[in-house]
Amino acid sequence: MTSKVEVISDAFILLGKGPVNTIDNGPPVVDAVSKLYDLLYPTVLSWHPWRFAMAAKTLSPLTAAPPIDKWAYAYLLPSDLVHLYGTYPAQIDYGRYENYIYANEYPTLTIEYSFLPSPLKWPIYFKNLMVLSLASYAAMTITQDENIEKDKSEKANQYLLVARTLDSQQQPSPKIERDAIYSRKYR
């Protein structure tokens, strides 16, 4: 079971240091890496539409009119939203301001977005990416060695490609619809 302490501990081990058993009342370097983890986690989630961290939610319009006359409907975004990936129906014109979406076409709107799932829900490839990314970002703080920082950064970037590929396999590819031109040409 993955936890914040385990990710931090694994990053320390990758950097040649001893494991971390707790992040409460630990040395200042552990506190610094813990804060770095808190900054890094939503950032890593925004690098890719990770399937395990996606949600779809249907939003109902608010009763108050939008503050801008351009829009007919206002919707409050979910409080756990990290990154908005799309709306359904697709291809609608909308505007996002603060924690609201404004649109004209539909009285209800479904959005697809990422959120911050508990580390207990992470697949192993994402846990490994977080460990490598944290080691990369924390390398100078922990080791004071630019070569180690460069090495961990390169490994994290390489593993990002692996993790994205593994995650993309968690959902089938979208069906390619034949359009009218294709249908007439290849009967």
Q: What is the pLDDT along the chain (187 residues), one digit of tens a residue?
A: 689 999 999 999 999 999 999 998 889 999 999 999 999 999 999 999 999 999 999 999 998 878 878 898 999 999 999 999 988 877 788 889 899 999 887 778 899 999 999 999 999 999 999 999 999 999 999 999 999 999 999 999 999 999 999 999 988 777 766 665 666 566 5
What is the Cα–Cα distance from 139 to 148, expressed in whole angstroms?
7
3-state class (DSSP) for residue 87 = strand
Q: Where are the beta strands (DSSP E) in the chain?
A: 54-59, 73-76, 83-88, 94-97, 100-103, 109-114
Structure tokens at 157: 């970037």
As a whole number of Å, the CA-based R_g of the chain is 22
- Give the start-to-end residue ranges of the domains of the chain: 4-49+121-146+158-168, 51-114
Do 131 and 11 meet the contact criterion of CB atoms below 8 Å apart? Answer: yes
In order of 20, 70, 87, 129, 136, the CA distances from 163 in angstroms are 25, 41, 25, 7, 16
* Residue 116, Ramachandran bin (φ over 0: left; ψ between -120 and 50: alpha; else beta): beta
Burial class (CB in 10 A: 0-12, 13-18, 19+), 36: middle
